[in-house]
Structure 1
């Protein structure tokens, strides 16, 4: 029986984002193991579904030579103990440490899944701190990905940027349609008639929080009936957005802040238009979930954000970091409800055609099983 070890830095993603794929691996006959920081609910879900969990302490946002050396050593010992045929790494730290360690541990197939480039590639203001982090990230990616059997991206822009920057070497690269969306779980919900906007994101500057709050203020000045909701927890990332700014927007009536929500279907169903003014994504899961539930989307014309959107068909695209165009797009959909209704229907149709989680999982299985570059 083939054994696969999936290494992630965010344990909850194993049950949420990767759950369907892990179960498909089990059905295909793999002995599936997961290595990640500990999370009680995730461990329970994995155990109930016959997937072995291995605790791997990993600070997602911290970098330290001693701690990272200990991480690499622990991972090496675990891979030598398990002797898998396949390793799949997701996110920057599992990739830059997991791929070289798997190579040293003589794992035959070493796959990297790049679900987004994060702060290291998306600081809109190009600060000195960002330039240093970007340079280090590029060096680490270039060194690790040359040891990968395949690299999989969630949008073509990321793949093309990595090729242009010379980070892939000769490693085959594939593109899948994000992590997919469960169309049976995220069913179409009736659109409220009231102009209710929703954004779901961790509190990070590069998610476009400042633009969302700024646009909400502009819109409410001329369309006071509009409502704006924000869902998402704080984040230790260097690009963290101050919760005090969100609280100020709550205090002045601009936005309703719900923090983290276990099941986002309720808040999506309560919204009319989904908004994500992010600077860059892999492919946003929240956008796909909103599309599956039949919501028009306003997002940025940026890598990973524009991928699921056909401008004027199922949503609108606005420039990155621009508050006024975002507000104008919101007002346009308030003032043109029939157009918004049509976009809502098209969103569901596009989700069914391109982002059905069963199709995305089948594509990932093909990549894992063959180790060959998927058709581009």
Structure 2
């Protein structure tokens, strides 16, 4: 059997889907992947091929609104599927889901699966985005009516898709606990005890709460001079991206220590004692799961996907979306209570092992796909 996985980010295939691909290969499936950027000589392509994965490139403008470019994506995926004849196709992130599922239906792929890893820019509450959201909903509905099963990473997203009739009543859906985390690779690291050390890992987007993090950092540093705030990530080409000027200003005045884009985030997590993600909403935030597995308390928002990772007061703090005041208060509470930091970090690891172990999540997905 041939399994084709379609992604919008080449890097995500290794960072987020590597264990799932390995699980599929262990079942004897011939593993194919398709993503933009995966031309000859790309390091991700070489890494995938070293794992026995067959790699394909297709054109995709992730944030573009050009219908001709999107049509080229659809036709390219259709030609690919007609050529390799997969038995199963799975796609994730908005455009790969839409055009991947349509192409798989047109190519008569026997088993078609969509994975909703978050709602993205078009679905955030903003009056200026209503037109974009309506188009996204219509395209999603068209595509998901062709999927045999749609996987969601939190119940809020599934409820929204059902309520908005984006997911037809006769289509199957399944909730999984995010992409999971390899708890054997992300091991508990000792908490630094040389002062408050906060960390945010994310694409540098407004919807990730990066601006709120920077402003809370500025306020907390004024009250606790020894506090440090690290930021890991990169500036995306999204309309919602943080500007280079904003980032440069935060670094110049000492608000944040910018560590750039890291291929291995474990040293950065080991260097913090509290992990922060003030996102406006996620599927299930992978960076939070990694920090939990390494024994870090979490401050995140009471938003879809994020709220599932934290029991407020148990392994971290939940704060309202966009509330710098609440974020500052949560940070100051943990600065003032080291025993609470230690206890919450211990609970994060326990939750990661019991709920978010990638092996358990992949086993559940394979069963739902009829491959278990």
CA-based RMSD of the aligned residues comes to 1.1
Cα distance in 2, alignment partners of residues 275 and 253 from structure 1: 18
* Aligned residue in 1 for 2:62: 60
Q: CA deviation at 1:84?
A: 1.3
Whether the 8 Å CA contact 2:88–2:110 is kept in 1: the answer is yes
Whether the 8 Å CA contact 2:101–2:143 is kept in 1: the answer is yes
* Aligned residue in 2 for 1:77: 79
Q: CA deviation at 1:127?
A: 3.5
| 1:270 counterpart = 2:282 | no
Whether the 8 Å CA contact 1:43–1:53 is kept in 2: the answer is yes
Cα distance in 2, alignment partners of residues 174 and 217 from structure 1: 41
Give 1:101's match in structure 2, choosing from 100, 103, 118. Answer: 103
* Aligned residue in 2 for 1:136: 135
* Aligned residue in 2 for 1:87: 89
Q: CA deviation at 1:63?
A: 2.5
Q: CA deviation at 1:38?
A: 2.7
| 1:187 counterpart = 2:187 | yes
Whether the 8 Å CA contact 1:203–1:243 is kept in 2: the answer is no
Q: CA deviation at 1:243?
A: 2.3
Matches for 1:1-376 after TM superposition, within 5 Å? 2-39=1-38, 40-123=42-125, 126-128=126-128, 130-169=129-168, 170-193=170-193, 194-369=195-370
5+ residue gaps, structure 1, are 372-376
Cα distance in 1, alignment partners of residues 247 and 52 from structure 2: 41
Residues 34-43 or 350-359, more deviating: 34-43
Q: CA deviation at 1:184?
A: 1.1
Q: Which runs of 4+ in 1 moved over 3 A?
A: none
Q: CA deviation at 1:155?
A: 0.7
Cα distance in 1, alignment partners of residues 161 and 192 from structure 2: 42
Question: Given the two structures, how large is their TM-score scaled by the length of structure 1?
Answer: 0.96
**How many residue pairs get matched?**
367
Q: CA deviation at 1:183?
A: 0.8
Cα distance in 1, alignment partners of residues 131 and 240 from structure 2: 14
Cα distance in 2, alignment partners of residues 365 and 63 from structure 1: 34
Q: CA deviation at 1:370?
A: 5.9
5+ residue gaps, structure 2, are none
1:208–1:318: structure 2 CA closer, same or farther, 3 Å change rule? same
Counterpart of 1:307 in 2: which secondary structure?
helix
Cα distance in 1, alignment partners of residues 263 and 52 from structure 2: 24
Cα distance in 2, alignment partners of residues 92 and 367 from structure 1: 21
Q: CA deviation at 1:45?
A: 1.7
Q: Deviations over 1:317-371 (max 9, x none)?
A: 0000010110000000000110111000000000000001111111111122269
Cα distance in 2, alignment partners of residues 112 and 267 from structure 1: 32
Cα distance in 2, alignment partners of residues 159 and 343 from structure 1: 29
Whether the 8 Å CA contact 2:5–2:91 is kept in 1: the answer is yes
Whether the 8 Å CA contact 2:61–2:70 is kept in 1: the answer is no
Q: Deviations over 1:82-107 (max 9, x none)?
A: 11111101111111111111111111
Question: Given the two structures, how large is their TM-score scaled by the length of structure 2?
Answer: 0.97
